[in-house]
Each structure stands twice: as structure tokens, then as C-alpha cells.
Structure 1
Amino acid sequence: MEHLAVGAVVRRGKDVLLVGDGDALPGGAVEDGTPLLAKVAREAGYAGVTAERLLWVARYRAAGDDYAMLGFEVTGVGAHDGSGEWVHLTEAVERLGRMWFAPIREPAVAYLTGRARVATLWTWTELDGAPATVPGVRPA
């Protein structure tokens, strides 16, 4: 069985919305039967979100289970409720770069720094190893 998760880049000009302790993208696990971007909208503080484009698919195995994380760039629908923290792109890249979880950290930072194309497939055979990417991602 493959588990599904979603994460999203929400931008406002040169700012990126970070949630949690100010070091994560909106998103998380997707429960069966739940609309794909419902958790993103809730965490981002919008009534809904519109997916603008698929940024990445990160596939990995942990504790014997397979996972797929879809990363989207989204636009908020309705008024923003003030949750999360808007930070400049440079600071967002720095904060996300310190995240321990590679299947979010690596694709998000590569996309935000222009090293990865949209719709890049990231595959980890070992979470502490280097991922394979299609198409290739430019080194940092």
C-alpha cells in the first residue's frame, strides 16, 4: 500500500508562506476520501487553494511502507486568516534547507532556487542517501 502526502508552495510576490514553527510548507498526509489539497488550504489559512502546477513527486520507503509526496504551487482562495508566516524567498530557502526530512527539503529548496524543473520525480531508495531525479537537478 502506498501512502499519499501533499505539500505546497504558497507565494505572495517574493514571499513564501511557512507554517508550523515557521520551517515547513503547508500540507501533510492525505486521508482516504479527503480532497487532495484540503489539508494544504487549512494549514495555509485559506478557504481553499487552486493548484497552479505540480512541482515534484517524491517517492520513498520508510518503515516498510511506500510513500508518495506531491508538491504543488498553489494560490489561496478567499481571505487569508493570518496563519503561518510570510518570509522572503531567501529566508524560506534557508529555513527549509535545515529541515531534517529530505523528501520535502530537497525538492522544495531545489525548486525555489531554480535548480529543479516543475514536475520533477524524486526517488529515494534510502532516506539518508541521495535521490535519483528525473529530469536531473542541477547541483547546489
Structure 2
Amino acid sequence: MAQVRVAVGAVVRRGRDVLLVRDGDDWALPGGAVGDGEPLLRRVAAEAGYADVVAERLVWVARYTAGGQRYEMIGFEVTGVGPHGGGGEWVALGEALQRLGTMWFAPIREPAVAYLSGRARVATLWSWPDLDGPPDTVPPVSPA
């Protein structure tokens, strides 16, 4: 059985604003691939500009296969620890939804937009049998 590669993304809020980071030409939530033995939220803290972050809740797990490799993207809502040392841009929720909605990669875009817009419940499981098709979700996610 192929090893599952793990990535993490996090919703960081300041009032009604959401922290976004640049990912090439796209905007994304802080996070990224997690190395073997690396604490899940270390990359989130570094990208978000905090000394550390505290996971408040699990908001999604997205499973997909690409190039024969299995992946799991785990999404958390977190609180930053210590002063915010830069990194990313704070944007209003509506603007965050617009920016994230244009992201090319569905296993990041779809769970993030659905959660932030209130269409998906906490701890939703997203599965893409085919990355070109729609995901299966448990529990079901309300349409946009």
C-alpha cells in the first residue's frame, strides 16, 4: 500500500478577517506539505507568522490521489500564539472567499470556501475519486 502524503491548511481569523498567503499566482490558507515526523501545525505557524498556533477545531479532511500518490489535506481552525510577525495578508471574509474561490486546486479550494461560507460543517470528509470530477462529502455539503 502506498504511503499517504499529508498536508495541512489552517483558517486563522482576526475578527471577521482571514489570513491568506500567496501560493504562486493564487491565494491560499497558511500551511503546506508535512514532512515525516514533523508536527502538523509547524508549517502553519511559520507561514502565518506566529511563534506557534493552537488547533481550535478540525474543519475538514480532503482525500485524493494524484500521479499514483495518495494525499490527505487536513484543515484546522487555529489561534496564533504570540505577536503576529508578518506573513500573509489579513482580508475581509468576503474578499477571502473571492480569492480562495479562484484557486486552481479543488482539494484546497472547495473545503476552504465551503467551510468559510458556512456551507460545510466542522469535520467534513471530502473525497475525490477523480480530481476532474466533483467530490464526495460526509456529511453532505450544501450547494453554492
TM range (shorter): over 0.9
Matching residue of 2:71: 67
Work out the CA distance in 1 between the residues paired with 2:111 and 2:45: 20
Q: CA RMSD in A?
A: 0.9
Counterpart of 2:8, as a letter, is: V
Letter aligned with residue 20 of structure 1: R
Identity %: 73
Distance 1:82 1:39 in 2: 14
Unaligned stretches of 5+ residues in structure 2 = none
Following TM superposition, the consecutive aligned residue runs of length 4 or more in structure 1 with deviations greater than 3 angstroms are none
1:1-140 superposed matches below 5 A:
1-20=3-22, 23-140=27-144
Any unmatched runs of 5+ in structure 1? Answer: none
Q: Which TM-score applies when normalising by structure 1?
A: 0.98
Matches of 1:17 and 1:47 in 2, distance apart?
Answer: 15
Deviation per residue, 1:89-118 (Å, 9 max, x gap):
000000000000000100000000000000
TM-score, scaled to structure 2: 0.95
Partner Cα distance (2:97, 2:66) in 1: 25
Residue type of the alignment partner of 1:12: R
C-alpha distance after superposition, 1:47-104 (max 9, x if no partner): 0000000000000000001000100000000010122100000000000000000001
CA distance in 2, matches of 1:53, 1:119: 8
